[in-house]
Structure 1
Amino acid sequence: MAKIGVEQSLTNVQQALRQKGYDVVQLKQESDANDCDCCVVTGLDSNVMGIQDTSTKGSVIDANGMSADEVCQEVESRIR
């Protein structure tokens, strides 16, 4: 199953993805995203000070304004 990195504050999303069988890791540091197939972030602290130096080979989902179910659907569509 895919490895999904999820921002720490999104506990409801972490639980929903685990229930669907995904390997979920918390994104505590930039390096945590390196091995993930997909990353879910709130978008609230993205690109602070105009610096974007984090890179990941997986796609990034901005969960701002989305329910946990909507995030799960987005993850599923992106990792297919």
Structure 2
Amino acid sequence: LKFVLLFYVVVASDRIINMYLYYYLNENGDRVYTLKAKDPAGRLTLSAHPAKFSPQNTFSQQRILIKRRYHLLPMQQKLNKVE
């Protein structure tokens, strides 16, 4: 069971440092997740975040408001009864 840390914030000396999740492929071809920009062999790691995902999630409140307005939230959907 692998747990993935998607976003990690470190508060150090009155600064917030964003740390993004990266991965590299090991010799077995498995993804190894890390917070470092380079793997142990010195190659650059790849971003583990999907292209449309940003850990800051800057417009999440606006997306929720739009979904609420047009009744697209899961709690606003009518249940489909199977007979």
Q: Shorter-chain TM-score category?
A: under 0.3
| Structure that is richer in strand per residue | 2
The alignment's TM-score, normalised by the length of structure 2, stands at 0.20
The alignment's TM-score, normalised by the length of structure 1, stands at 0.20
Higher relative contact order (CA 8 A, sep 6+): 1
| Structure that is richer in helix per residue | 1
For the pair shown, the structure with the greater C-alpha radius of gyration is 2
